[in-house]
Amino acid sequence: MDNRLKIGLRPRPIIGLVGLAPDTALRPSISPASRPSVMQAPVLVLNATFEPINVTAVRRALVLMLKGVAQAEETNHTEVHSTSKAIRVPSVIRLLTYRHIPQQSRALSRKNILLRDRNTCQFCGAAFPASDLTLDHVVPRSRGGRSSWENLVACCYTCNNRKGDRTPEEAGLKLQRRPRPFTLHTSRQLMRLIGHRDEKWRKYLFY
């Protein structure tokens, strides 16, 4: 299957936050000593009540801080520079005003499916970089399979070629888990997974 699959829905990036539109006018520039990857590192987002509600990227977190929407609760040693100041890179930020987070699924997109499946092929169970994964329709489109949360899974190219235009049963493959929509519950599971690698997150994730 073509790994450039385009799903007929407008994707919502994981770095987005409910009720807060991206502001391209406020993007701090990176100092020469900062790597571009620093700006994409994960940041835990807390509601005003200290409840964890999202994971965003450093770039988006800095925009929220510069707009006065959020403040840093935990920071890293790295600094980035805006036009007028040096700012410590946040690890955890907290919104200054309480936001109601609706119980809804994320937008259907390749990025969110890979995130839901933790960059793991759902047939062989091996983890891969995003560039080495494609999306597979469990029920092939030629059989009426839809582009939906329940029918799309992360798949490595080897398993994708082996499966071809067949069902998993016909190809002798077995799904690691039944695909489900990406819900707020899924988000919180991923927050805890990432929190194992960042000690600053743990006290906010109720270990």
Domain layout of the chain by residue ranges: 1-30+37-104+183-207, 110-171
Roughly how many angstroms between the first and final C-alpha of the chain, as a whole number? 41
Give the tokens for residue 198. Answer: 């960042």
Q: Which CATH architecture has domain 110-171?
A: Orthogonal Bundle (1.10)
Task: Determine what percent of the chain is predicted with pLDDT higher than 70.
Answer: 73
Cβ neighbours around 106 below 10 Å, total: 22
Mean pLDDT of 86-111: 85
Q: What is the pLDDT of residues 126-174, one digit of tens each?
A: 999 889 999 999 999 999 999 999 999 999 999 999 999 999 999 999 9
Closest by CA position to 171, among listed 188, 183, 159: 159
The pLDDT of residue 135: 97
Partnered with residue 137 across adjacent β-strands are: 152
Output the DSSP codes for 100-123.
-----PPPP-HHHHHHHTTTB-TT
Which of the four pLDDT bands, split at 50, 70 and 90, describes residue 75?
very high
Mean pLDDT of 113-123: 90
Contact between 112 and 182 (Cβ < 8 Å): yes
Q: What is the pLDDT of residues 24-65, one digit of tens each?
A: 334 444 444 444 578 888 899 999 999 888 888 899 999 999
Q: Indicate if the alpha-carbon torsion angle 66, 61, 45, 99 is positive or negative.
A: positive
